[in-house]
Structure 1
Amino acid sequence: MPIARSDDIVKSLYNLSVNSVINCITNVHPVHNQKSVTKINKNHSPLLQLPLDILEEIVHTLFQNRKVMKEAIFHLVTSEFQSLKLHPYNEAYSKFFPNFTKLQVLQISDAFTTNSIADDNCLKLIGTYCEHLRVLDIQYCYTVSDVGIRWLCSSSVDNQEDYGGTGKCKSLEVLKVQNCYNVTKKGIQIALENFPLLKVLHHEFTFDVLVELAQMPVNQKVPNVPKFPLSVLQVFDQQLKVPYFTIGSIGKALPLCPSLVRLDIRLVKEMTDSDLLGIINLKMLRELVFYREKEVEIEVTFDGGVAPLLIVIGSSLTYLMISCFSVVNFSTIIEYCPNLSYLTVCRHWNPIGPPPKLKQLFRTESRKEKFILSQLKMLHLEYHSTISSDIWLCLLSSPLLNHICIRHCDALTDDVFQNATKSGRFQNLEILNLISCNSITYQGMDALMTDANPLRLICTYNCENLTREDLNHLKIKYQDKKWAFTWHCNVMVLM
């Protein structure tokens, strides 16, 4: 366990610098009128000598502070800015864009700032002045349309005549336009065909457009199938439902993106095991995610669809998340995915019907070879009742394991923690979350209380065999060790 430091609360110089400047502007010299704006602007020149990342953080925080007039921030905005967050967006910010000639990362909105007022005119300014932009996040900007996408990227004479703008954002690598409901398939196609370096394009129609583009050479007898440099692709459920989903759609779309590193697929009923075969040819794939909505039945199975896939590409995966099956074979994952650094497996069944029989869940084949996930750093398991002790030791055997989160898992017992600790596991474990793990008692937690592990955060919620007296006794028992760790807990209330 980590040893407590004498200075329990240590603030970084970065945070102190940012907070000091913000406090000065918002409290010491509050801005109420144009006269106070002029006064602050005269005193801003020393602030421009601050490190650029600190100045960017100050400006971002001031933009969000309603007490500060936007004119008071103008003098702080320089042409050296490389990263900036402008949410919630305000039309008054348009005057800043001519200064953003070196900007590389711009966030206009996020999931917490829905219905942003940023529109096509905002994208016109970005396309005109932000020539070096690499990342643009405009999700939830409901009024942005295909015209705005054109203004970002197109520099043709026809486009300037029809729409205006100069479209200088040719270096864009990440474009997030989720929930921009006026951006249609046409706008997504424009983005794919006009941003030659685009690696991430998040939108509900991205997959549909790829399927249609794959069909064009067949329908129009064009010899060459287009290729795009996308490295991340999210396939949403609305894109895989009839009439959008057809058999073989995944196999048609993925060859257009041979450089994919991460693939997220939300499974739907219309998909079958054979549809997943289209993933096998992605030679650069490192991160794979399967999930589905609650109460949605699916035909894809672990044994028939995912297992054959892992046998072929599992050794190249470093990130695997499976949150859609009631039956998963951990032995297959452990054997064929030896290089995983992140593993999430959540059991799923339809809550309306009866759960599967326990003996059918998580089959573990007996093998002579013993495999370990030697690179695993983060393990997340949910709703598992029949994991054997051998599988537990394999999952917990990584010397790099840093973060464990286990939920609703009565198969996790005191013996697992005791045996793992005796075997020298957990030498890098810092965070342990246990939620509704009802087989864990005082003895299991006591086994973790050693100098050998660096645990700094323990969370135990609704573990019915851990009482508040148990936890208090553990704290008293080891108080002389002066370990610096935090323990968050609540105790199951039995009705």
Structure 2
Amino acid sequence: MHCLTRCVRTSVSANPNNSPELVENLFAILKIKTYKMPKVKTVISLSSQCINRIKSSLIIYYFPINSKLLKTWRGRPLSIQQRTDTEPDINPFQRIPTVLSEAIIQSLCIRKYLKAVKQYNITFLITTELQKLNAPSYHYDYKQFLNFFPKLERLQVLVLCYSNIGNAGLKLIGTWCKNLRILDVNSCSKLTDTGIEWLVLKPTELGKTLQELLVNCATVTKRGIKMALQNFPALQVVENDNIFDALLEEVVLSSSLAQPHILNTSFARLTILPAGEYRNGQLELVMQYCPLLFDIGIIVKEGLTDTDLLSLTKMKNLQILKFMLHPSSTGQEITFDKGLAPVLKVIGRSLKVLDISYFEFVDIWTVVRFCPNLISLTFDNQCPSLSALSENEIINRERNEKGRVILEDLKVLRCGFNLSNDILFDLLSCPLLEMVDISFCDALTDDLLQEVLAIGFLKNLNLLHLESCHLVTKQGLDALVLNDNLLERISLFFCRKITHQNVLDWHSIARQKNWKLRLDYENLDSKPISLIFA
């Protein structure tokens, strides 16, 4: 557009005899508004083409396969020959760069391949050079992998979640995978405390290297988690419903000793959920021994109080704070104004992610004032009477210009319900927004959307999710979809004025323009649809 402007101006100045009508028409061209539509489909990269080609070769081999014939594979899928004593063991997949092998295995975890995943034999791709093994998440016979673990000494990341790996598998991992940093065996139904005991059985380098143990399995109890805490001092993350109680018992035990043993104080992420009710002082006790936490998720239920939350003010490194509702919660155990607001006043500037959807009512201006560096914000209902701001701060904020940037770094916004037009306008005016999720909100209208876009915001939006927003129509969303943006996905659920035909129209435009765009839609009078053009 700037080049066109220069060309027009040069043409006019170089030809002083141009008629007034011609000059007027030339400059009229400059007033035509142009749009950079949603992303156009890109050419598949050479790397992706290689991965897809190799995956298609793997489909040829369907389980079960004769392992003796496998060793004599010569490159073409159907050219398996009888092995002779003079022929070396050759697996041509071992010649693939390790990074590419890891990418191929990772790609098989993508949802669209899960239905056909039994056709793939990833054992071809497991070599001694692997540093990351992310196996497909489905019930698979992992006994065939047991012979590989002694060869995987360089492995740093091992993901076997949702598999049928058993306790014997953990014993082999503990023995041979000496450099492991992350072990993910979440939702593995055959694992028990015995598996954890065997994992820590031999004092190996694993005790010094393992940083993340993801073992959220129903049959792994507090006993197993305590064994992990005692034997893996480098642990930063443990995913298990019993981690809070196990850590609490270790802290209490250490405090009672004449010479307290050294506890694991390097925890970075922790989900707080006691098996029973919260008891006074428990949260504070654990926080004292986990001073480096930067990610805390608190599942709220009976016993937790506003006073307990004050212990969070000591967490100077905290960047992620989430409050989640336990099924047994009344939703009234803790409050925004007396419990959370004093915490945000102390540590709010360090927070990057804040999820306060547990609280029925919050004051968004208190959040904005105390947490100016948020990247992600999730909340429900606004209630000005809960404000922790002074009267002068409230007056000054009300006098500020509409559309001011209130959270310069915000990229993810989830909100809705009783928001006013002014508050929603200010939130949608955050310049870096990439994902917006709005629910049950009558403040979202065509006029508001068009006003936000007219100022030049929402240009970085990738994902838009609307649910039960009944005042927005195709006209308002047209202004967004056809505007200057990076949209890749639009999800519209139970928005009364958006019709099935509207979605089909957008999909038709996406096909014509070759956009990379996914449309999800559901309404009371139609079945859910998902239209993908990518």
Q: TM-score, normalised by structure 2?
A: 0.76
Equivalent residues of 1:343, 1:379 under 8 A apart? yes
Q: 2:319 matched to 1:273?
A: no
Equivalent residues of 2:298, 2:324 under 8 A apart? yes
Q: 2:298 matched to 1:251?
A: no
Equivalent residues of 1:143, 1:180 under 8 A apart? no
Q: 2:211 matched to 1:173?
A: yes
> Is the alpha carbon distance of 1:295 and 1:125 closer, same or farther for their aligned partners in structure 2, counting shifts above 3 Å?
closer
C-alpha RMSD of matched pairs (Å):
3.4
Unaligned runs of 5+ residues in structure 2 are 1-34, 77-89, 527-534
Give the counterpart of 2:479 among 447, 451, 454.
Answer: 447
Pairing of 1:185-204 with structure 2 (within 5 A): 185-204=222-241
Give the counterpart of 2:434 among 402, 415, 423.
Answer: 402
Q: Residue 357 of structure 2: SS of its match in structure 1?
A: strand
Equivalent residues of 2:93, 2:124 under 8 A apart? no
CA distance in 2, matches of 1:57, 1:474: 34
Kindly provide the amino acid, as one letter, of the partner of residue 238 in structure 2: L
Q: 2:364 matched to 1:312?
A: no
Kindly provide the amino acid, as one letter, of the partner of residue 128 in structure 2: S
Corresponding residue number in structure 1 for 2:127: 78
> Is the alpha carbon distance of 1:195 and 1:31 closer, same or farther for their aligned partners in structure 2, counting shifts above 3 Å?
closer
Equivalent residues of 1:3, 1:484 under 8 A apart? no
Equivalent residues of 1:139, 1:180 under 8 A apart? no
Equivalent residues of 2:131, 2:156 under 8 A apart? yes
Corresponding residue number in structure 1 for 2:323: 290
> Is the alpha carbon distance of 1:173 and 1:155 closer, same or farther for their aligned partners in structure 2, counting shifts above 3 Å?
same
1:164-220 Cα deviation digits (max 9, x unpaired): xx5744201110111241x33333222223223211111111111222222224433
Equivalent residues of 2:189, 2:217 under 8 A apart? yes
Shift of 1:84: 0.8
Equivalent residues of 1:142, 1:179 under 8 A apart? yes
Kindly provide the amino acid, as one letter, of the partner of residue 252 in structure 2: Q
Larger radius of gyration: 2
CA distance in 1, matches of 2:102, 2:245: 37
Give the counterpart of 2:269 among 232, 252, 264.
Answer: 232
Corresponding residue number in structure 1 for 2:446: 414
CA distance in 1, matches of 2:263, 2:420: 48
Q: Residue 233 of structure 2: SS of its match in structure 1?
A: coil
Kindly provide the amino acid, as one letter, of the partner of residue 98 in structure 2: L
Q: 2:164 matched to 1:136?
A: no
Q: 2:102 matched to 1:102?
A: no
Kindly provide the amino acid, as one letter, of the partner of residue 170 in structure 1: K
CA distance in 1, matches of 2:327, 2:379: 15
Q: 2:293 matched to 1:241?
A: no
Give the fraction of aligned pairs with identical amino acids, expressed as a percent.
Answer: 32
> Is the alpha carbon distance of 1:53 and 1:322 closer, same or farther for their aligned partners in structure 2, counting shifts above 3 Å?
same
1:364-407 Cα deviation digits (max 9, x unpaired): 9843135601100011125x1x2122211331222111111112
CA distance in 2, matches of 1:202, 1:475: 41
Q: TM-score, normalised by structure 1?
A: 0.82
> Is the alpha carbon distance of 1:9 and 1:361 closer, same or farther for their aligned partners in structure 2, counting shifts above 3 Å?
farther
1:325-375 Cα deviation digits (max 9, x unpaired): 22111111111111110111145xxxxxxxxxx978987984313560110
Q: How many residues align?
A: 459
Q: Residue 216 of structure 2: SS of its match in structure 1?
A: coil
Kindly provide the amino acid, as one letter, of the partner of residue 476 in structure 2: G
1:207-243 Cα deviation digits (max 9, x unpaired): 112222222244334457734211000123xx1533x
Equivalent residues of 1:408, 1:436 under 8 A apart? yes
CA distance in 2, matches of 1:215, 1:403: 43
Pairing of 1:300-449 with structure 2 (within 5 A): 300-346=334-380, 366-369=394-397, 370=400, 372-382=406-416, 384=417, 386-449=418-481
Corresponding residue number in structure 2 for 1:18: 51
Range with bigger deviation, 478-487 or 216-225? 478-487
Shift of 1:437: 0.4
